[in-house]
């Protein structure tokens, strides 16, 4: 085998796998990050004068029904949410679900719509959420979010 082919083979094995297809989309009354066709990471639902946040995408199993504080930082502004752990119906881990107060719902959704970057911090770890495309998806549910 020529040295050139050997080097090319080594380089190709070091290259990362292609990133999963990511976009923001709306499913029913919920807008969130979609990875390979399913909402994961962060989603917000607004309907009937209520708003709810769902955080998912981690494999850690949390104690079902227990309360956990989770934070979402959008462009250096932190929002804290009281959530409850539930089994993730799509995998081995848990999801965190919590109500978003009327005072926070609209400003939080607007921050996500206009933001450049977000980071989620949970007891299961932290991860970044891309916000590109979030404006259109979240804008479609914003009218149903509770106003302060």
> What are 82's strand-pairing partners?
69
What is the four-CA torsion angle of 134, 45, 55, 127, rounded to 10 degrees?
10
What average pLDDT score do residues 57-86 get? 94
Domain extents in the chain: 20-144
Domain 20-144 carries which CATH code? 2.60.40
Of the chain, the percentage scoring pLDDT greater than 70 comes to 86
- DSSP annotation of 19: P
| Residue 55: count of CB within 10 angstroms of its CB | 28
**Selected residue with higher pLDDT from 3 and 53:** 53
Closest CA to 40 of 18, 52, 28, 58: 58
**Predicted TM-score (pTM) above 0.85:** no
Closest CA to 74 of 27, 131, 34, 17: 131
d(CA 80, CA 146): 17
Question: What beta strand segments (E) does the chain contain?
Answer: 22-27, 30-35, 38-47, 50-55, 67-74, 77-87, 94-100, 117-122, 125-130
- Joined tokens for residue 117: 């970057």
| Distances, alpha carbon 2 to alpha carbons 6, 12, 13, 14, 57, in Å | 6, 16, 17, 19, 43
**What angle do helix axes 102-114 and 134-141 make, rounded to 10 degrees?**
150
Are 3 and 18 in contact, with CB atoms under 8 Å apart? no
d(CA 134, CA 108): 12
Residue 148 clears pLDDT 90, i.e. is over it: no
pLDDT in tens, 110-130: 999 999 999 999 999 899 999
């Amino acid at each position: 085998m020529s040295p050139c082919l050997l080097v090319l083979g080594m380089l190709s094995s070091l290259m990362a796998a292609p990133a999963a297809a990511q976009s923001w989309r709306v499913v029913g009354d919920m807008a969130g990050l979609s990875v390979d066709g399913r909402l994961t990471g962060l989603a917000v639902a607004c309907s009937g004068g209520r708003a709810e946040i769902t955080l998912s995408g981690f494999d850690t199993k949390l104690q079902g029904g227990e309360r956990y504080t989770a934070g979402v930082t959008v462009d250096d502004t932190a929002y804290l949410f009281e959530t409850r752990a539930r089994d993730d119906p799509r995998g081995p881990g848990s999801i965190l679900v919590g109500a978003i107060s009327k005072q926070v719902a609209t400003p939080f959704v607007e921050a996500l719509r206009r933001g450049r970057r977000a980071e989620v911090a949970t007891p299961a770890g932290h991860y970044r959420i891309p916000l590109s495309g979030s404006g259109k998806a979240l804008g479609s549910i914003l009218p149903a979010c509770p106003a302060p």
